[in-house]
């Protein structure tokens, strides 16, 4: 089951948590593009990496752009009840998930996505970060999304279930599935 598309700007969670937390966020909300550039500099890495892990390398740049453009458009609704980073990250997650169908199609077309049938290559050690990233990339979409959101980004199952439009139980089982696959790459 695919999750219903999310419009980050219409997301009640976002609307309730937007906040002008820092001075740069306040300045950017008033149209100061230099302040927005500083916010970008501070948060672009996390957003870009999230996009890459959730949607794949090819779409990470485009998604990062979309997230920050959307943030610029929605900054006026940012009311200071949470940190700007929290607001931005939630917006990023929702936007990435909203576009995942198109990106999943491209990933499948480009890579012949055989998530579970991938062949273990050479022995992988915990020290080889990129190998772990590669294994993460090859997880089934649902398991990868939950794993990234829970284990990497620190969201709770209740939040993930809401974002993905699944039950809490599904979120938990997908997480366990992802971990059981990934553990093979830490041997």
Partner 1 sequence: MNEPAMLHEEWTDRLSDYLDGELPPGERLALEEHLRECPGCRGVLEQLRAVKVRAAALGHDEPGPHVWRSIAERIGHPEVSADDPRDELAARRARKIRFPWLQAGAAAAAVLVLGIGIGRMSKEPGRLPTARVEAPAPGTPMTGDAYRVAVAQHLTRTETLLTSFRAEAAGGTVDASAVEWAGQMLSTTRLLLDSPAAADPRLRTLLEDLELVLAQIAALPTRPDTPSATHTEVDLARRAVEEKQLLPRMQTLAPAGSPVTLGES
Instruction: Please report, as ranges, the residues that interact with partner 1 according to CB under 8 A.
Output: 33-34, 36-38, 40-41, 44-46, 48-49, 52, 60-61, 64-65, 68-69, 72, 126, 129, 132-133, 147, 150-152, 157, 172-173, 175-176, 179-180, 182-183, 186-187
Smallest gap from residue 100 Cβ to partner 1 (A): 19
181 contact partners, CB below 8 Å, separation of at least 6: 116, 135, 139, 143
d(CA 102, CA 58): 12
Q: Which residue stretches of 3-99 are H helix?
A: 12-17, 23-29, 33-55, 57-74, 84-98
Smallest gap from residue 183 Cβ to partner 1 (A): 4
Which residue, 52 or 90, is less far from partner 1 as judged by CB? Answer: 52
Per the CB < 8 A criterion, the answer to whether 91 and 70 are in contact is yes
Which residue, 4 or 51, is less far from partner 1 as judged by CB? Answer: 51
18 contact partners, CB below 8 Å, separation of at least 6: 74, 77, 78, 79, 80, 81, 82, 87
Which residue, 81 or 169, is less far from partner 1 as judged by CB? Answer: 169
Which residue, 40 or 87, is less far from partner 1 as judged by CB? Answer: 40
Which residue, 68 or 87, is less far from partner 1 as judged by CB? Answer: 68
Smallest gap from residue 66 Cβ to partner 1 (A): 9
Smallest gap from residue 8 Cβ to partner 1 (A): 16
Smallest gap from residue 4 Cβ to partner 1 (A): 25
The three state secondary structure string of 62-85 is: HHHHHHHHHHHHHHHHCCCCCCHH
d(CA 167, CA 171): 6
């Amino acid at each position: 089951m695919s999750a219903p598309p999310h419009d980050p700007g219409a997301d009640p969670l976002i609307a309730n948590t937007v906040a002008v937390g820092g001075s740069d966020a306040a300045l950017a909300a008033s149209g100061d593009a230099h302040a927005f550039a500083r916010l970008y500099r501070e948060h672009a890495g996390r957003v870009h990496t999230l996009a890459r892990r959730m949607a794949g390398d090819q779409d990470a740049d485009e998604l990062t752009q979309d997230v920050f453009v959307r943030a610029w458009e929605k900054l006026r609704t940012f009311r200071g009840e949470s940190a700007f980073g929290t607001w931005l990250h939630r917006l990023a997650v929702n936007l990435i998930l909203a576009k995942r169908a198109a990106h999943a199609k491209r990933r499948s077309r480009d890579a012949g996505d055989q998530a579970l049938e991938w062949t273990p290559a050479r022995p992988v050690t915990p020290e080889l970060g990129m190998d772990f990233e590669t294994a993460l990339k090859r997880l089934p979409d649902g398991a990868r999304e939950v794993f990234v959101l829970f284990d990497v980004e620190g969201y709770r199952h209740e939040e993930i279930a809401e974002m993905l439009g699944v039950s809490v139980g599904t979120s938990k089982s997908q997480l366990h599935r992802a971990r059981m696959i990934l553990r093979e790459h830490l041997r």
